[in-house]
């Protein structure tokens, strides 16, 4: 079955760039949208944006232009970069498969905690 695994630093300094990668195993990255979702400690879920396997992207305007997505179909991976981070970006970051027909997130990674601190 398809599984997702996030990877990346757990600690990022303020004003620097957060970089995470999600590896898709057990299936192909093709023909799906792949989302990033985050959850600050003790709070709710926020959709960051998604990337299609072709490279088309959409992001949440709340993050302005700080977000960059990329996809590597040969490695079955997609990535997130969030620039100019502050303490408000401290959260668990999830990658998830977006089922195109209903924008339902049917497969999730386990999540990775990223703390922004000097």
Give the footprint of other proteins on this chain (CB under 8 A): 35, 44-47, 49, 58-62, 94, 96, 99, 102-106, 108-111
74 vs 102, beta carbon nearer other proteins? 102
8 vs 73, beta carbon nearer other proteins? 8
Residue 13: CB minimum distance to other proteins, A: 26
Residue 40: CB minimum distance to other proteins, A: 12
Going by C-alpha positions, the residue among 94, 110, 107, 112 that lies closest to residue 28 is 107
Look at the alpha carbons of 58, 63, 66, 69 in this order and tell me if their dihedral is positive or negative: negative
Going by C-alpha positions, the residue among 90, 95, 101 that lies closest to residue 31 is 101
15 vs 115, beta carbon nearer other proteins? 115
71, two tokens: 């996809």
Residue 73: CB minimum distance to other proteins, A: 23
21, two tokens: 């990668």
């Amino acid at each position: 079955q398809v599984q997702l695994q996030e990877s990346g630093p757990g600690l990022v300094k303020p004003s620097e760039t957060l970089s995470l990668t999600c590896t898709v195993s057990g299936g192909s990255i093709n023909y799906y949208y792949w989302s990033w979702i985050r959850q600050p400690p003790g709070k709710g879920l926020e959709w960051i944006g998604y990337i299609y396997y072709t490279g088309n992207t959409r992001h949440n305007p709340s993050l302005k232009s700080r977000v960059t997505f990329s996809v590597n179909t040969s490695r079955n991976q997609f990535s997130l970069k969030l620039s100019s981070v502050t303490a408000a970006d401290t959260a668990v970051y999830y990658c998830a498969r977006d089922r195109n027909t209903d924008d339902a997130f049917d497969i999730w990674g386990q999540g990775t905690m990223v703390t922004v601190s000097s």
